[in-house]
Copies of this chain bind each other. A is one copy, B any other.
Amino acid sequence: MSDLLERLRGRGWRMTAQRRVVAEVLAGDHVHLTADEVHARAVAKLPEISRATVYNTLGELVTLGEVLEVSTDKRAKRYDPNAHRPHHHLVCAQCGSIRDVHPTGNPMADLPDSERFGFTVSDVEVTYRGICPNCAKA
Contacts and interface: CB of A to CB of B under 8 A. Distances in A.
Contacts of A124: 126-129
A68 B21 CA distance: 39
A41 to B, nearest CB: 23
SS class, residues of chain A in contact with chain B: mixed
Interface string A39-75: 0000000000000000000000000000001011100
B128 A121 contact: yes
Interface string A69-83: 101110001000000
Interface residues of A, number: 38
Contact of A77 (B73, B104, B132): B73
A15 interface: no
A123 B130 contact: yes
Interface string A119-138: 11111111111111100100
Interface of A: 69, 71-73, 77, 90, 92-93, 99, 101-105, 107, 110-112, 115-133, 136
